[in-house]
Amino acid sequence: MAEVYKRIDRKLVHKGAIIDYYQDTVQIPNGNVATWDFIMHKGAAAAFPVTEEGKILMVKQYRNALDRFTIEIPAGGLNGADEPTMDAARRELEEETGYVASDMKLLVSVRTTVAFCNEKIDIYLATGLKRTAQHLDEDEFVDVEAYDLEELVELVKNGSIEDAKTVSAIMTYKALYT
């Protein structure tokens, strides 16, 4: 028998620059009513840039939520819910790394935190890289570093890389291309 959940109400608690925070009132299968937090996100895209030499370009940047620097794949939010994710991935790749890719193909899609957020990130394998220039936002300070795949796998294993999109990209690439 299918269990039935019915959203009774959704109230906007706070509208933010990146996310909107709601409280949902939901009738659950036993007939009770529950209040659940919901974060609405417009979506994001990322690139997994691999050079001709097989090096993977990563970005190192400060992340306020963790109060530390992280090593991640280049990524960013969509400019609007209708922006094609490949376009956003191309834009973020060039903005953050200063490279453009002649070839982009979907590597994996991830939902970052399904318990309370609808964020989806499409991650593209970016190859045929050509150097241009970084175009960082006024509040972005990003260093670009090149890694071997096995170095990145080790950084995932030892807990140095915890970012979900980056872990997903590294491990998917390893599974599909090595």
Active site residues: 138
Give the span between the Cα atoms of 25 and 156, in whole angstroms.
38
Question: What DSSP letter does each residue of 74-101 carry, written as one string?
Answer: -EEE-SSTTS-HHHHHHHHHHHHHSEEE
Give the span between the Cα atoms of 125 and 146, in whole angstroms.
15
Cβ 95 vs Cβ 136: under 8 Å: yes
Cβ 20 vs Cβ 14: under 8 Å: yes
